[in-house]
Chains A and B, each alone.
Chain A
Amino acid sequence: MNRIIIGLMIALCVVVGAGLLGILDSRATDVFLEATRPDFQKIPIGVFGFQNGGGPEWLGGRIEEVLRADLQRSLVFSLVDLPGIGVKAREVTTADKAVFKQAAENGVSVLVWGKSGPRNGSADSELSMDGFVYDSGSDEVVGGKRYVGSTSVVRLMAHRFADELVFRYTGEPGIARTKIVYVAEHGNARELFVMDYDGYEPKQITADGFLDLMPRWSPDRRFIVFTAYRSRNTQDIDILELATGKRWTLVSMAGLNITPALSPDGNFLAFASSQDGNSEIYKLDTRTKASHRLTVNQGGDLSPTWSPTGREMAFTSDRGGAPQVFIMSADGSNVRRLTYEGDYNAAPAWSPRGNWIAYVCRTAQRLYKLCIVSPDGQKRVQVTTGPGIDDSPSWSPDGRHLTFSSTVDGKSHIYMVDTDGKNVERITFGGTHNSSPSWSPAL
């Protein structure tokens, strides 16, 4: 309990401190907050219903369902089964002090509830959602939110409310409004799609008719970089502006142009190209268009991934005969091998917190699973187990989850998993081939 209060105080201090300085940089990756520690105790939260005042029949239930799933996935809160501890009230108001007290006495730290319905009472108007928060530490209703919008933003209302809760208790923005870009089969082609982090609202963003592969977000979430087969015979690295659909070609060298990754400050594009014979890693300054080669050897080098500070990159190289993960400085110097276990380690992804690098590891049973390793190589953990070919790990911006593709259910689909291997959740259900997910930065 003390820890929670201290955590809350820290969160408030961070917010106040940042507020005083006039900046609140949600991308400050060097700050480790309480909730990232392994001994972090989740905050017990109880969710009452969202009364439906004349809206579509599904409205209140939908909001509650989305909110519960978000809170569960946040890993900051643990959902308390309120009826299970004898708290029965389904519809509460800010005045229900006795109910709050009863829940608090049974170990619930935070309670949320709300109401929803047409904004002006008339059935054809916009929808509104009110959400309220009670905190047992201060024994008061600490505040509320009111969201309004069309039917199409109902899930977003719940996501946003969840993110506000995570923000209040950790000082981090939460991941409920993040998105995932991925590749899906469309006709005979592979095109890019963007969906919410929970798999809802998929939207197609390219229609090129052949192969668009390996999409990655720009750090400001406005752009996607990816490999596009311009014809069936040549590839470019293109960048697409999501809001406008506008598109530019960044790299169009001879040979393979693959695995693009923008630096954390957005100024550099790292990628692999085989214009000099075998695949090597290059770095392009997006402001000057100057580009130079970082790796020099006979093996294939590919899949660069930036450390959150932008000072280093991890990448795949088969310079020793089989693919392994290496690290180098962002100028190409100081190359050292990171993985030693097994004869196939590839597709590294550096966590936004900097403390892990996820990658695809081939196990002794020759299964392709996800592993994580610390950047000093000292700690290594296999994250996923069982059948299926796992590929393309990508971190959630809070560093607590990975999204990846797997063939565990037959066809390739997109999944997410906690970094400790728990809570494997499938997030795509339609389509015949979903692959290559990349998780957006937080808002």
Chain B
Amino acid sequence: MTIRVATMGLTVVVGMLLVIQGGCSKKSIQSGGDAQSSDRGMAKSGGPAPSAMGSMGSTGGLDAPSATFPDLSLSSKPQDELESGGLRGFDSVSGGKAPSEERLGGGGTMLAKVEPSESTARQIEDIRREQAKEQAASAEAGLRDVFFGYDSWTITEEGRQSLTQDAQWIKGNAGALVKIEGHCDERGTLAYNLVLGEKRAKAVRNYLVELGVGANRLAVVSYGKERPFCNERNESCYQQNRRGHVVVRSK
């Protein structure tokens, strides 16, 4: 029994050493691999335009503009910072000795308070106003939406008729810009529904382009299942939410 325990203890300590060792070599292998794949990935995809990459990190509109990203590397943080609030084990209390005091700070000091600033309040108001304006303009134009089947982004015959009418209005109003919002019902995952919503919006856009509308006048955005038109749990409601919503853009 004692031997068994001792052996296991030794194994664990040796194991720890191996894990630590492994951690180091892993890192060097990984960075090597990344350097390689970086070249290949670029070549394969034809490379995302360098300008697109250059624009990343731009922080227009944010309160704290910063040219560089924060340092997210785990290894660059001092261990005690990572372990701050780390566990210290139990103190001996033999002979009636009291444990040493451990002070727990603030409760929620880890989180900065969110105080909606004037600028965010303004932004929220802008969103509301813009949305109301779009709704009014779209209603006036008589734009029709397109509805989809479960899991589907194929435009139906009925959808094609609606879009033929929409295309006529868009072509007849040369200055108007149009946005197509892709929406989904609540079934399925949040993430995949964002992709599905985009497929629906793009299917609508592509059909409008086929009908002769200039692609530069059409924007697409997906809201997945995050901005439903109807909140009940039945097929007629689901049908309302599987939608390509065609709206006149306010700007």
Contacts and interface: CB of A to CB of B under 8 A. Distances in A.
Given A13-B10, A149-B104, A302-B192, 6 more contacts: A208-B123, A220-B74, A239-B69, A291-B56, A310-B30, A330-B37
B8 A207 contact: no
B73 A296 contact: no
B209 to A, nearest CB: 14
Nearest to A228: B62
A30 B226 contact: no
A264 B16 CA distance: 19
Interface in A199-232: 201, 203-211, 213-214, 218-220, 223, 230-232
B56 A323 contact: no
Contacts of B53: 289-291
A246 B64 contact: yes
Contacts of A310: 26, 30
A400 interface: no
A250 B56 contact: yes
A146 B98 contact: yes
A426 interface: no
A136 interface: no
A211 B226 contact: yes
Contacts of A316: 189, 191-192
A266 B73 contact: yes
A37 interface: no
A21 B85 contact: no
B3 interface: no
23 contacts: A94-B93, A145-B99, A146-B98, A146-B100, A147-B104, A149-B103, A164-B89, A173-B87, A188-B128, A203-B108, A213-B194, A220-B77, A230-B61, A242-B110, A262-B72, A287-B69, A291-B56, A292-B48, A296-B45, A329-B33, A330-B34, A347-B191, A391-B189
Contact of B219 (A128, A233, A347): A233
B93 A144 contact: yes
B45 A292 contact: yes
In the complex, the 8 A-B pairs of residues with the closest C-beta atoms, listed nearest first: A143-B90, A331-B37, A209-B124, A245-B112, A152-B107, A292-B41, A17-B13, A13-B9
B60 to A, nearest CB: 8
B75 interface: yes
Interface stretch (B17-25, B156-164, B165-173): B17-25
Nearest to B125: A209
A189 B64 CA distance: 22
B164 to A, nearest CB: 25
A77 interface: no
B174 interface: no
Contacts of B124: 187, 189, 209-210
B120 interface: yes
B224 to A, nearest CB: 8
A218 B110 CA distance: 14
Interface in A270-285: 272, 274-276, 278-280, 282-285
Contacts of B87: 160, 163-164, 167, 173-174, 443
Nearest to A412: B186
A76 interface: no
A330 B30 contact: yes
A248 B191 contact: no
Contacts of A252: 55-58
B139 interface: no
Interface of A: 2, 5-6, 9-10, 12-18, 20-21, 23-28, 30-31, 94, 128, 130, 132-133, 141-150, 152-153, 156-157, 160, 163-164, 167-168, 173-174, 177, 187-190, 194, 201, 203-211, 213-214, 218-220, 223, 230-234, 238-239, 241-256, 258-259, 262, 264-268, 272, 274-276, 278-280, 282-287, 289-294, 296, 300, 302-303, 309-311, 316, 318, 322-323, 329-333, 344, 346-347, 360, 362, 368, 389, 391-392, 407, 435-436, 443
Contacts of A23: 20, 79
Contact of B90 (A142, A253, A282): A142
Interface residues on B, range: 35 or more
A117 B187 CA distance: 50
A147 B37 CA distance: 50
Nearest to A20: B13
B114 A204 contact: yes
Interface in B45-95: 45, 47-48, 52-53, 55-59, 61-64, 66, 69-75, 77, 79, 82-83, 85-94
Contacts of B79: 23
B230 interface: no
Contacts of A173: 86-87
A132 B16 contact: no
A347 B74 contact: no
Contacts of A231: 127
Nearest to B62: A247
A145 B34 contact: no
Contact of A275 (B15, B41, B52, B58): B52
B82 A145 contact: no
B199 interface: yes
A16 B98 CA distance: 24
A144 B100 CA distance: 9
A284 B48 CA distance: 12
Contacts of A268: 34
A143 B56 contact: no
B140 interface: no
Contacts of B8: 6, 9-10, 13
A290 B38 contact: yes
B195 A302 contact: yes
A76 B23 CA distance: 27
B82 A201 contact: no
Given A94-B96, A296-B45, A407 B186 contact: yes
Contacts of B130: 232
A251 B53 CA distance: 8
Nearest to B77: A220
Contact of A253 (B33, B44, B48, B131): B48
